[in-house]
Structure 1
């Protein structure tokens, strides 16, 4: 009886072991037709982690800012919020401060850096660091995302080029200015007439 039980248990263990090895074999060899390898056979899924992916700009040409901000080139620090925090006040550092050195930022084109320094004088320290803070929400991740959005918006605004006025547009602007000036003079005359009428009464 004992020998039969041993053989039965050994057979069950063999079946379980064979099943697990079969599952491993299927999972390692089977690929769905919708898998990344089948849809994009020549793509590298780890290309974002490569060092050579870091974005740089040629300063000789006026390239645009793509919105890419390398987290390795900026400083992200969580600090205590100054406003009311409810149960989390003085317990959780939810406020986020993002700073980076503008001149050494290779991911911003040179022609945009000049405008950024000019437009954001109040946010740039003596050392040349642009400082952005956010305590919009009670979570660090959302405040960090808000800081990065602010940085992108500043760079995009600094990348806007002045619109060249055409002759037709200049004429339209001149007509509007003349009309506004005429309306101003008419209001001025009407006010002076009111004063004269009051004095005569």
Structure 2
């Protein structure tokens, strides 16, 4: 079991890993050894995730989600399978952690107070007076 937060964990049997050839660092080794990791997690059919968390996770996943509801993460920045595996798993855990946070409540609309309206109008009048004083100087003799 992979602990996401208290009360929420993923079963390791739900995660499918496949090793592919990487395009990243590794020199000639890149062409011979499959060090990159393609991690797949079926969000839609996962019994570990509550429904609202799964819905938020599918929204967060974006292009990484297939039409079948499978989240696909690819890690190929490191030279070894183990480090790429750990990175892919950490990215999955971080995504699920973000999805597990409930969204903030909607903002309540408020109206400006009478005092703030008065201050705004007074400031506009003051500013208008300053600008009016910038006109051409007239000599009334």
1:38 maps to none
Runs of 4+ residues deviating >6 angstroms: none
Say if 2:14 is the partner of 1:73: yes
Compute the displacement of 1:81 (Å): 0.4
Count residues with an aligned counterpart.
114
1:96 maps to 37
Q: Which has the higher strand share?
A: 2
Cα RMSD for the two superposed structures: 3.4
- The structure showing larger relative contact order (alpha-carbon pairs under 8 Å, at least 6 residues apart) is 2
The answer (yes or no) to whether the contact 1:65–1:155 under 8 Å persists in 2 is no
TM-score between both structures, scaled by the size of structure 1: 0.48
2:55 maps to 114
Compute the displacement of 1:164 (Å): 4.0
Judging changes above 3 Å, is the alpha-carbon distance between structure 1 residues 69 and 144 closer, same or farther for their aligned structure 2 residues?
farther
Q: Which has the higher helix share?
A: 1
- The runs of 5 or more residues in structure 1 that have no matched partner are 1-53, 56-62, 175-181, 183-201
2: CA distance, partners of 1:145 / 1:78: 13
1:162 maps to 103
Say if 2:98 is the partner of 1:141: no
Judging changes above 3 Å, is the alpha-carbon distance between structure 1 residues 166 and 106 closer, same or farther for their aligned structure 2 residues?
same
Decide which structure has the larger Cα Rg and report it. Answer: 1
2: CA distance, partners of 1:145 / 1:138: 12
2: CA distance, partners of 1:70 / 1:79: 23
1: CA distance, partners of 2:24 / 2:95: 25
Judging changes above 3 Å, is the alpha-carbon distance between structure 1 residues 121 and 166 closer, same or farther for their aligned structure 2 residues?
closer
Q: Secondary structure at the match of 2:34?
A: coil
2:73 maps to 132
Q: Secondary structure at the match of 1:133?
A: strand
TM-score between both structures, scaled by the size of structure 2: 0.66
